[in-house]
Amino acid sequence: MTDFTIRVDQNKYLPAGSQEVHGIVTVEASGPVQTGPAAEAAEVIIIDTSGSMSYGKIADARKAAQAAVDTLRDGVHFAVISGDHQAEVIFPGDGRLVPADAGSRRAAKDAIARLRAEGGTAMGRWLRRAADLFSAHQAIQPNAIRHAILLTDGKNEHEPAPEFDANLAYAAGKFVCDCRGVGTDWVVAEVRRIASTLLGSVMDVRRPEELEADFRAMTEAAMGKTVADIALRVWVPRAATLNFVKQVSPALEDLTGRRTDVDALTGDYPTGAWGGETREYHISVSVPSGNVGQEMRAALVKLVQPATGEVLAGGNILAQWSDDPVQSTRINPRVAHYTGQQELASLIQEGLQARNDGDVETATARLGKARGLAERAGNDETAKLLDKVIDVDPATGTARLKRVVDKADEIALDTRSVRTVRMRKDPES
């Protein structure tokens, strides 16, 4: 049984006339080690088999997909899709998912061993095929945790943009998809959009031989999920406005536009499946101005299972007006930390775009500022990645773009720009 808790960090005090309230909502899922039946789960493994996967990459992709199949728990229903300019279900091939056991694993790995690299790339069609498989399976196991792995090495060049948009929208909400880009010819923004829409992660894999371990780890993480389809349910008073709902840890994800109305004052924001983990969300609300001393509830935040309405945890975001400047001007450390992390991601993405556009001045300013923010936030991984694209004089703070940058380093910086670090020290400790 997974237990959920919610904690809200904020400074509830506002100066007279102020209306904007911010809170960081920390959701922690924990529970005893699983001793009963494991949660029902369904898995689809999608492998790019376009022509660009030739010259060794397809061999490592085969090993990775086979490792994922070996990592599935007994009884987890699964399928394998070969993706080029079309999508072919190479296992089991009859439009349904089958449970993992010794026989089905052996048959799936035999099918994977026969994969060949040829054809184009149409990722939207791969996702639509996976969505159809999951939808058909939902009639059998409506509460199963639905997860996919997508591997690509190239651009989505063989599918018109409107078709890709329609296919991605078709897949949204039907499953969670973790995406991997291997090599240096894939487009980070393109794959990030898929992962973001499908509430999954995106990571770069620098060398094809690293895929096998990565796929095994990804599948292990998917098998560790115990609760499917959880949502944040946010209520605000009639006169208030909900400005945004963003996941800020472990990675940045703006959920604001994904609201499903519960009623005029309440909306659900999807968070996907959960295992034992902690995630944090930044919520901002504008409230009507109040009198000094007045307190109000700016938002009620619950963690719910939308299908049943069961409430798993809850917490309040408050507002209280004060004429004490010491109270009202203090910025909650956790709010400040994650506001900085969001600025860091924006600076990196804007800086890299400016660099690619040949705008050296903007690129230098953005990436130089990002380097300082990363260091102050304790984001050592991002700081090291920034050091591969920009030099900063420690004495003067002057930044200068490096003349030559490894494409793999640029991709790594872009891909990981949305990953955040938690605060080194709890503000209450």
Query: What's residue 38's pLDDT?
Result: 73
* pLDDT band at 429; cut points 50, 70, 90: very low
* pLDDT band at 273; cut points 50, 70, 90: very high
DSSP 8-state symbol, 330: P
Query: What's residue 402's pLDDT?
Result: 95
Task: Please enumerate in sequence order all residues whose Cβ is within 8 A of that of 160, keeping only pairs 6 or more positions apart, or say none.
Answer: none
Query: What's residue 352's pLDDT?
Result: 96
Q: Is pLDDT of 401 > 90? A: yes
* pLDDT band at 292; cut points 50, 70, 90: very high
The least confident of 8-17, 188-197, 365-374, 416-425 is 416-425
pLDDT per position as a tens digit, 348-366: 999 999 999 999 999 999 9
**Mean pLDDT of the region 249-257:** 96
Rounded mean pLDDT of the chain? Answer: 94
Beta-strand pair 310-322/295-305 = antiparallel
Residue corresponding to tokens 């026969």: 114
Residue 161: enclosing H or E segment and its boundaries?
Answer: helix 161-171
What are the residue ranges spanned by the domains of the chain? 3-35+228-330, 41-226, 334-417
User: CB of 23 within 8 A of CB of 74?
Assistant: no
Higher pLDDT, 394 or 240: 240
DSSP string, 12-73: -EEETT--EEEEEEEEEEE-SPP-SPPPPEEEEEEEE-SGGGTTTHHHHHHHHHHHHHHHSP
**Mean pLDDT of the region 142-167:** 96
Query: What's residue 39's pLDDT?
Result: 84
**Mean pLDDT of the region 198-204:** 97
Query: What's residue 48's pLDDT?
Result: 98
The span from the CA of 165 to the CA of 149, in Å, is: 19
Residue 235: enclosing H or E segment and its boundaries?
Answer: strand 227-235
The span from the CA of 369 to the CA of 363, in Å, is: 10
Residue 411 in tokens: 């991709």
* pLDDT band at 157; cut points 50, 70, 90: very high
Residue 284 in tokens: 């901002």
* pLDDT band at 32; cut points 50, 70, 90: low
* Superfamily covering domain 41-226: von Willebrand factor, type A domain (3.40.50.410)
Q: Is pLDDT of 109 > 70? A: yes
Q: Is pLDDT of 391 > 90? A: yes
pLDDT per position as a tens digit, 302-343: 999 998 889 999 999 999 999 999 999 999 999 999 999 999
- The closest alpha carbon to 200, from 250, 163, 268, belongs to 250
pLDDT per position as a tens digit, 177-192: 999 999 999 999 999 9
CATH code of domain 334-417 = 1.20.120.1690
User: CB of 79 within 8 A of CB of 111?
Assistant: no
Q: Is pLDDT of 36 > 70? A: no
3-state secondary structure of 210: helix
The span from the CA of 108 to the CA of 295, in Å, is: 61
Q: Where would I find the beta strands (DSSP E) of 236-331?
A: 241-249, 253-254, 260-263, 266-274, 277-286, 295-305, 310-322
**Mean pLDDT of the region 269-297:** 96
Share of the chain above pLDDT 90, in %: 90
Q: Is pLDDT of 377 > 90? A: no
* pLDDT band at 64; cut points 50, 70, 90: very high
Which one is the CATH code of 3-35+228-330: 3.40.50.2300, 1.10.20.10, 2.60.40.3670, 3.30.420.40? 2.60.40.3670
**Mean pLDDT of the region 381-394:** 94
Q: Is pLDDT of 1 > 80? A: no
Query: What's residue 424's pLDDT?
Result: 64
93: left (phi over 0), alpha (psi -120 to 50) or beta: left
- The closest alpha carbon to 49, from 198, 150, 171, 144, belongs to 150
